[in-house]
Structure 1
Amino acid sequence: MKVFLIGFMGAGKTTFGKKLAKNLNYPFFDLDHLIEEITGGTVGEYFATHGEIKFRELEKDILQTHPFPENYVLSTGGGAPCFHDNMDWMNKNGQTIYLQLSPKALATRLENAKEQRPLIKDLKGDDLIKFIEERLEARDIHYKKAHFIVDGLNVHPEIIANLISKN
């Protein structure tokens, strides 16, 4: 079984994904880390050098054609479900889980990790919250297509592992 974790940056996809993968006894992958391994640079550097369109094309190619094992847990980047046919592809090829958090909770988490995130590095306080609210509103149509929508603040790997194994 393939498990795709989606949600806004800072939702905890990587942290939760590692715990879920361990619970399922599956390997864990992070799409942004794969991009960095393949390109030899950071996501921010790729974004700055090649632009968002090229980044989204690379992201799609890795998501849909990388030689993953049969079973795995993958943490996607926050925008991955919103471009090309990625969300429909993930829904067709595995179980999708949306880790949902409020804009304020996301802003609190992101406040100390902005340097690694090119889209928000210059934002703070109310500007950061407003940016998150606007992006979430635009992305919700994609995120809410997930098979499961869970509270990102109170998510437990054991419960999710049981839930997805029943499907």
Structure 2
Amino acid sequence: MNPAPNLILVGPMGAGKTSIGRRLAERFGLEFADVDQVVVERCGATINTIFEHVGEAGFREREKAALAHVLAEEGKMVSTGGGAVLDCDNRSLMQRRGFVVYLRVGVEAQLKRLGRDRSRPLLRRGDREQVLRDLTAVREPFYMEVADLMLDTDGLSPGGATSTLAQLLASQWQRSERAA
């Protein structure tokens, strides 16, 4: 067993972090927190608007603050943004404050899942397939670095991935609490 106060999902866009995370939170009695949504709530602006006004670097600063805010608590099921692992402080914080699950997904599955999605600023940079391949090349080593467990979600429905992951977590993760 690997005790940790929180469960954290990392992985690329389209891996299922939010949909699987909501289901896991319910199953394990955890409070669900989507870091991207926390950024939106704290800034009072959409991610696209944040990118337009302060760029990716400005968004990453806000993402880092939101992640620290969420992980200061315990009993959370945290869905991170795909790029949260780019920051070494974020990686360290995730490893200290949670059991980290890397939801892996191939580019072909991402393209299908994100086919109609126009809300992601990084996919506005031209050839979607090439953008996804480039993001994977840069980020996958970081996902692997922080992961306590990996699940390939290609070909799995959110419900199927949740069931598989819940079984794996039952034998590998135990919720820990700090002494009061």
TM-score scaled by length of structure 1: 0.89
Q: Which residue of 2 aligns with 1:45?
A: 49
- 2:82 counterpart SS class: coil
Q: Which runs of 5+ in 2 are unaligned?
A: 176-180
Q: Distance in 1 between matches of 2:82 and 2:100?
A: 13
Residues 20 and 105 (structure 1), Cα distance of their counterparts in 2 relative to 1, 3 Å cut: same
Q: Residues 88-103 of structure 1: matches in 2 within 5 Å?
A: 88-103=92-107
CA RMSD for the aligned pairs? 1.8
* 1:165 correspondence with 2:173: yes
Amino-acid identity (%): 31
Partner of 1:108: 112
Q: CA deviation at 1:31?
A: 0.4
Question: In 2, Cα distance between the equivalents of 1:111 and 1:165?
Answer: 34
Q: Which residue of 1 aligns with 2:130?
A: 130
Aligned residue number for residue 156 of structure 1: 162
Q: Is the 8 A contact 1:31 1:59 kept in 2?
A: yes
Give 1:117's match in structure 2, choosing from 113, 117, 120: 120
**How far apart are 1:165 and its partner, in Å?**
2.6
Structure 1: gaps (5+ residues): none
**Corresponding residue SS for 2:94:** helix
Q: Is 1:61 aligned to residue 65 of structure 2?
A: yes
Q: Which string of whole-angstrom CA distances, capped at 9 and with x for unpartnered residues, describes residues 134-164 of structure 1? A: 1101111101111111112332342243144
Moved more, 62-71 or 47-56: 62-71
Alignment CA distance shift 1:128-1:67 (3 Å): closer
- Once the two structures are TM-superposed, the CA of residue 53 in structure 1 deviates from its matched residue by 1.2
Matched, 1:35 2:43: no
Are 1:3 and 1:73, in contact at CA under 8 Å, matched by a contact in 2?
Answer: yes
* Matches of 2:70 and 2:6, distance apart in 1: 13
Counterpart AA for 2:55? G
Q: Give the 5 Å matches for 1:9-24.
A: 9-24=13-28
- Does the CA-based 8 Å contact 1:24-1:161 persist in structure 2? no
Judge conservation of contact 1:82–1:142 (CA < 8 Å) in 2: yes
- Counterpart of 1:72 in structure 2 is 76
The number of residues matched between the two structures is 163
Q: Which residue in 1 is equivalent to 2:140?
A: 140
User: Does residue 1:83 correspond to 2:91, yes or no?
Assistant: no
Which residue number corresponds to residue 178 of structure 2?
none
- The 1:98/1:8 distance shift into structure 2, 3 A limit, reads same
Deviation by residue 1:113-149 (Cα, 9 ceiling, x = unmatched): 1x210111364xxx22221111101111101111111
Give the 3-state SS of the residue equivalent to 2:40 in structure 1: helix
What TM-score, normalized to structure 2? 0.83
Give every structure 1 segment of 4 or more consecutive aligned residues whose post-TM-superposition deviation is greater than 4 Å. none
